[in-house]
């Protein structure tokens, strides 16, 4: 089959902008101006997108067909595994062996495509066909894989991009220094490499040759002669090359000089604890070879956002997406924190990050449920109630269930939680029986949800909790071993003090109530010393315009920086009635939201 003529039929979903980050906070003032390299339009905003890349790719076609210069992807390798991350607690001590104690493993993403190589290839194929559409005529694509699938993916790439556009197969030596650990035990050749397949869209592609600086042994051995212009050597062809003009050793298809995270140096400098995170230097080499400053580049399986970080440092515009909320959260923090990031074999970046927006897919769950044919007939409701262990009495109105002493309402994925809808839920729940608790399970959090429900919740005598269903639930409906974990999106308490004298407001993050957070287990409770241990990140838009979250202030933890500020102050230049929107993320990657209207006299 010829990939060139095939169109992939996928429901067209819209991308929804949920936040825009600009380095306006005071902390960036001393870093000088943002640098926009030539070819980098100042009004361009980079994009970090949460969701399934199949729908994202389709949605990007409208604006970016033929516009992306370089695509790098590092898809899960069909290893049949679940990848977990280690949740860190602020005060956790190191064990005697020096390793941080494992507090809890949470799943970051799964690497299962229906269990077979062919379903992995089918998943990839659909996406590659759209990526080809997005690539510019002089564009390049690198696909990072390993022995599990490399030979099959090569055939797939030949089919889609054409064998004539295959450029190189690169071997990245992931055990460049020595082989250690369990690998040594293998009664076989020790596996020590990943593969990068490099294809282009046509024979006219951007390529900047890369060089590795000569090492001292080479210089001492070959640059023995010297004249008034400096040290030089005579090449085999008889040319005179001065040391200052020697670009170095051209990079071959075997990359031995970029250490993987199997080694302490890169892992310590850059490791954010995201499984399968790649070194920045690896991405930097690809970016520098196959794009120029200002070019638009993309990674559609971006994980912890290594591509975004490297692109940012090298002055490229970027689009990165991932299915994992945890991955996107790490990626966001890495870009926000870019001046603090010490990259292995990377120059420090000392300027503020360039603006980027956070996007999600509108109606994703709905589309997925329809794709699985469980939406129209409401089969998903039966599946979900089994998973959640909630029971429905025949006499109850649809979507109302019972669990222990609570009444549970399953909000349909196509219904927003408006004020009227919430009122209706409360009225109907009271008709059913006399319960003290009402849990409303929602699929997504929208920015206005807090404002809508806060007053109603306060007025009611029963306890109302709004609980978020996990993002990966729609992908696990048929997975019998999957157990969804929910949390209460209002469980964060904020204190707010307005001082009219100097038009100043002080906000304090007072508490996070983990009682209704199913991610917290007894082990974590024992380790945590206070509520701040549960908070990973919080950020404030001091003048929310009701449409888009544009935070000016943020504080967050990183793998190395384990403390977080719990108060923030802001001075308003003038009187007014601004709205403050606060977003908080706990150590499991769960989002909370708060909104307040204040008067500045």
Ligand X SMILES: C[S@@+](CC[C@H](N)C(=O)[O-])C[C@H]1O[C@@H](n2cnc3c(N)ncnc32)[C@H](O)[C@@H]1O
Binding site for ligand X (CB under 6 A): 52-53, 74-76, 109, 274, 276-278, 301-304, 306, 321-324, 327
* Nearby residues of 30 by Cβ (< 8 Å), 6 or more positions away: none
| Residue 591 beta carbon to ligand X: minimum distance, rounded to whole angstroms | 17
| Residue 313 beta carbon to ligand X: minimum distance, rounded to whole angstroms | 14
Residue with tokens 């997108």: 49
Q: How many CA atoms lie within 13 A of 454 on its CB side?
A: 14
| Residue 89 beta carbon to ligand X: minimum distance, rounded to whole angstroms | 22
Instruction: Give the CB-nearest residue to ligand X.
Output: 303
| Residue 83 beta carbon to ligand X: minimum distance, rounded to whole angstroms | 7
Q: 556 by DSSP, 3-state: which?
A: strand
| Residue 241 beta carbon to ligand X: minimum distance, rounded to whole angstroms | 37
Task: Beginning with the edge strand found earlier in the chain, give each strand of the sheet holding 225-227 in spatial order.
Answer: 225-227, 230-234, 240-242
Residue placing its CB nearer to ligand X in the complex, 371 or 543: 371
Residue placing its CB nearer to ligand X in the complex, 302 or 474: 302
| Of residues 270, 251, 247, 249, the one with CA closest to residue 259 | 270
What are the residue ranges of helices labelled H in 185-305? 216-222, 264-270, 280-290
Residue placing its CB nearer to ligand X in the complex, 241 or 269: 269
Torsions phi, psi of 57, nearest 5? Answer: -60, -45
Residue placing its CB nearer to ligand X in the complex, 278 or 550: 278
Residue placing its CB nearer to ligand X in the complex, 278 or 583: 278
Distance between CA atoms of residues 300 and 76, nearest Å? 12
| Residue 527 beta carbon to ligand X: minimum distance, rounded to whole angstroms | 26
Residue with tokens 């008709």: 431
Torsions phi, psi of 345, nearest 5? Answer: 60, 25
| Residue 110 beta carbon to ligand X: minimum distance, rounded to whole angstroms | 8
| Residue 182 beta carbon to ligand X: minimum distance, rounded to whole angstroms | 20
Beta-bridge mates of residue 143: 73, 197
| Of residues 184, 60, 208, 81, the one with CA closest to residue 131 | 60
Two tokens at 174?
A: 């992931």
- β-pairing, 406-410 vs 437-442, is parallel
Q: Are 88 and 399 in contact (CB under 8 A)?
A: no
| Residue 151 beta carbon to ligand X: minimum distance, rounded to whole angstroms | 19
Q: How many CB atoms lie within 10 A of CB 31?
A: 14
Beta-bridge mates of residue 467: 441, 488
Residue placing its CB nearer to ligand X in the complex, 80 or 548: 80
Residue placing its CB nearer to ligand X in the complex, 143 or 509: 143
| Residue 545 beta carbon to ligand X: minimum distance, rounded to whole angstroms | 30
Distance between CA atoms of residues 548 and 20, nearest Å? 7
Sign of the torsion formed by the C-alpha atoms of 114, 119, 120 and 125: negative
Residue placing its CB nearer to ligand X in the complex, 139 or 327: 327
Residue placing its CB nearer to ligand X in the complex, 326 or 549: 326
Q: What is the DSSP letter of 452?
A: H
Residue placing its CB nearer to ligand X in the complex, 120 or 205: 120
Q: 47 by DSSP, 3-state: which?
A: strand
| R_g of the chain computed on alpha carbons | 26
């Amino acid at each position: 089959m010829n990939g060139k003529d095939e169109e992939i039929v996928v429901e067209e979903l819209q991308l929804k902008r949920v936040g825009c980050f600009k380095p306006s906070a005071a902390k960036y003032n001393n870093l000088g101006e943002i640098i926009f390299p030539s070819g980098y339009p100042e009004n361009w905003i980079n994009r970090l997108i949460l969701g399934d890349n199949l729908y994202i790719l389709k949605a990007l076609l409208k604006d970016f067909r033929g516009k992306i210069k370089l695509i790098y992807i590092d898809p899960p390798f069909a290893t049949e595994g679940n990848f977990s991350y280690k949740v860190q607690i602020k005060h956790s001590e190191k064990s005697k062996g020096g390793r941080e104690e494992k507090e809890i493993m949470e799943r970051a993403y799964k690497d299962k495509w229906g269990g077979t190589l062919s379903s992995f290839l089918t998943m990839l194929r659909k996406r590659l066909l759209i990526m080809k559409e997005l690539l510019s005529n002089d564009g390049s694509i690198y696909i990072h894989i390993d022995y599990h699938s490399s030979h099959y993916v090569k055939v797939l790439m030949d089919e889609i991009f054409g064998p004539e556009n295959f450029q190189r197969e690169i071997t990245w030596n992931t055990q460049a220094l020595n082989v250690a650990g369990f690998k040594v035990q293998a009664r076989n050749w020790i596996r020590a490499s990943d593969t990068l397949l490099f294809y282009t869209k046509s024979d006219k592609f951007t390529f900047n040759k890369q060089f590795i600086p000569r090492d001292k042994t080479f210089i001492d051995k070959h640059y023995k002669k010297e004249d008034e212009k400096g040290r030089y050597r005579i090449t085999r062809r008889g040319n005179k090359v001065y040391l200052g003009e020697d670009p170095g050793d051209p990079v071959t298809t075997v990359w031995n000089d970029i250490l993987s995270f199997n080694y302490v140096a890169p892992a310590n400098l850059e490791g954010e604890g995201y499984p399968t995170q790649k070194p920045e230097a690896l991405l930097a080499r690809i970016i520098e070879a196959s794009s120029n400053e200002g070019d638009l580049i993309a990674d559609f399986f971006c994980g912890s956002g290594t591509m975004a970080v490297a692109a940012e440092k090298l002055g490229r515009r970027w689009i990165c997406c991932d299915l994992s909320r945890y991955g996107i959260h790490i990626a966001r923090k890495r870009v926000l924190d870019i001046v603090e990031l010490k990259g292995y074999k990377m120059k420090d970046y000392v300027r503020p990050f360039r603006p980027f927006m956070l996007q999600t897919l509108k109606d994703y769950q709905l589309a997925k449920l329809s794709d699985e044919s469980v939406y129209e007939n409401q089969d998903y409701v039966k599946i979900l109630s089994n998973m959640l262990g909630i029971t429905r009495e025949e006499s109850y109105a649809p979507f109302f269930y019972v669990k222990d002493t609570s009444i549970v309402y399953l909000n349909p994925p196509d219904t927003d939680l408006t004020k009227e809808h919430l009122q209706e839920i409360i009225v109907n729940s009271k008709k059913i029986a006399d319960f003290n608790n009402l849990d409303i399970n929602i699929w997504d959090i929208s920015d206005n949800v807090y404002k809508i429900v806060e007053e109603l919740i306060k007025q009611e005598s029963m306890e109302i909790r709004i609980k978020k269903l996990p993002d990966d639930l729609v992908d696990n409906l048929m997975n019998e071993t999957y157990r969804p974990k929910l949390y209460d999106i209002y469980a964060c308490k904020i204190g707010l003090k307005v001082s009219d004298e100097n038009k100043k407001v002080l906000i304090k993050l007072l508490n996070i109530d983990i009682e209704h957070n199913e991610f917290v287990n007894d082990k974590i409770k024992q380790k945590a010393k206070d509520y701040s241990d549960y908070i990973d990140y919080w950020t404030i838009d001091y003048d929310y315009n009701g449409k888009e979250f544009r935070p000016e202030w943020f504080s967050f933890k990183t793998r190395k920086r384990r403390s977080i500020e719990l108060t923030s102050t802001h001075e308003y230049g003038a009187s007014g009635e601004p709205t403050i929107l606060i977003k908080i993320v706990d150590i499991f990657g769960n989002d909370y939201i708060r909104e307040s209207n204040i008067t500045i006299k």
